[in-house]
Structure 1
Amino acid sequence: MTDPLEPRLAPSGPERALDRALDALARLVTLVSGCCLVLLIAIFGWLVFGRYVLNETPTWAEQLGLLLIVVITFLSAAVGVHEQRHLSVDFLRDALPRGARRTLMVVGDLVMAGFGLLMALHAWHLVVFKWSSSIPLLDLPEGLRSLPLTVCGLLLVLFAGSRALRRALGRYPWQDDHLLESLGAAPPEGAPLAPPTFEAPRAERRR
């Protein structure tokens, strides 16, 4: 393994193709989640209008809304992992020596990929088990509730697994730019921290 602070190598053709493919997949998933969100808002708007204006509540709206919430939540979570916008605690990683930081990032990616694989497998069992039953008021297979979990798990395996492989080989994806910059800007190990400096306002400096 090479040092994570070494100069970034120019991405090869397959790496650029992989980045474009993963980014396109993430944009597609984001588009699907956005469409589901717009549909969800329209459904609940119709629910309120039917209940308080028409005095006829559309009973199917709540069940369909719950199904859309599951789709939006899990698909958006997978995109968040791809773009590394998910909630994370990085103080431990930043406190480690430089050589151990990349190892910790690779381990984190592998754990995320393993979690996604387990989620996909167990969720698929739920899909198969519940497919014969129907969602109340919708007449749709109950297994559709668990299908977004399966898709999210597969996306986690793809996103986190490919990133772990590239990090292990010293080939960093574009999402690591901010991580590498923070590592490169860190002071040498054992160096004392410089006290913060404050610039006086212009009015005070004139005095």
Structure 2
Amino acid sequence: MSPDFLIALTMLTNFTLVATSRVNKAIQLVVVQGILLGLIPIAMGLGRHLHILFMALSAIAVKGWLIPFLFRRALREVHIRREVDPYVGYTMSLLLCALGTGLSLVLAHGLPLKPGTSPTFLVPAALATLFTGFLLLVSRRKALTQVAGYLVLENGIYLFGLLLVEEMPILVETGILLDLFVGVFVMGIVINHIRSAFDSTDTRHLAELKD
């Protein structure tokens, strides 16, 4: 399978993520995106390196099994189904995502890259995924959706890491996955405390914590 095709699917999930109001669907899309990212280095022909193959399989396991397990457990606890009233509407979010993707394609041509870097769309896809994750973080009210935004943001960082994946030691790759796990774990604690204190995961209620 072509790596460019997998990258195109990854960018398509970005648009679907910002357009959906269902929390469960957003979780499923994040899982799909994570699995696609795990397959990209293999499609690039880098599976011949044992540490890269291990990294790719670990990414698929963490993003395709561990994360959905934690998400679904949190979803059962908080009993939310939809992002009802986001800070930025879904139509505007979709337009902003399209704008960010277009800017990513433009900016990618100005970045200094290692000669012979491939595939061609890896850099704009990384920039677009970073922007999408940031957009979800700042435009959604529900804590679970914001966690999904954090994961998409991390996926963009992962894509950037693939540019130099052959030179990066396995410790760095493991550190990326560890950061991902710690982020989900910490946000799980936050969600639990919000639910216990306010019987809601709407982050507007955090304003009640100030003096």
**TM class by smaller structure:** 0.3 to 0.5
TM-score by length of 2: 0.32
For the pair shown, the structure with the greater C-alpha radius of gyration is 1
